[in-house]
Amino acid sequence: MYLETIYILLKQHPTVRAVDVGLQMGYSKPSVSRAMSILKDGGYILTDSDGHITLTELGKSVAEKTYERHTILTDFFVSLGVSEKTASDDACKIEHDISDETFSALKDKFFKDLMKR
């Protein structure tokens, strides 16, 4: 969820810092600091001397994949009549666990059905 949040914030703002991520997610500074350290050690993000966060190629790839899953799953659930809030919450729970095969099939079917409308 952190990478997705950083990705979304970077789409909206020229720079992002850990404090921005914490505010967006509603997490404490210590929790965000620990997560940023893990992401940095994992090669997902870089930070400069001013604390600005950038996604590495690996981080951007993971974030884009997660964001795509979230948006498509949310749209799919909304198309079924689920409220936007519930759809988004449920998509967040599922986006990390759904297999590539299942997601690809759902995405293909969902977009084909949309094109028919």
Q: Is there a common fold for 2-55 and 62-116?
A: no
The residue with tokens 């001013």 is: 50
List phi, psi (to 5°) of 42.
-80, -5
Cβ 16 vs Cβ 6: under 8 Å: yes
Quote the mean pLDDT of the chain.
Answer: 92
User: Which architecture characterizes domain 2-55 according to CATH?
Assistant: Orthogonal Bundle (1.10)
List phi, psi (to 5°) of 17.
-120, 165
Kindly state the tokens that stand for 72: 């498509």
What tens digit of pLDDT does each residue of 76-85 get? 899 899 999 9
What local confidence, expressed as pLDDT, does residue 110 receive? 77
Every domain of the chain and the residues it spans? 2-55, 62-116
CATH number, span 62-116: 1.10.60.10
Amino acid, res. 114: L
**Spatial separation of the C-alpha atoms in residues 97 and 31, rounded to whole Å:** 23
Is the model's pLDDT at 6 over the cut of 60?
Answer: yes
CB-hemisphere CA count at 13 Å for 98? 21
Bridge partners (DSSP) of residue 53 are: 47
Is the model's pLDDT at 55 over the cut of 60?
Answer: yes
* Model pTM score: 0.82
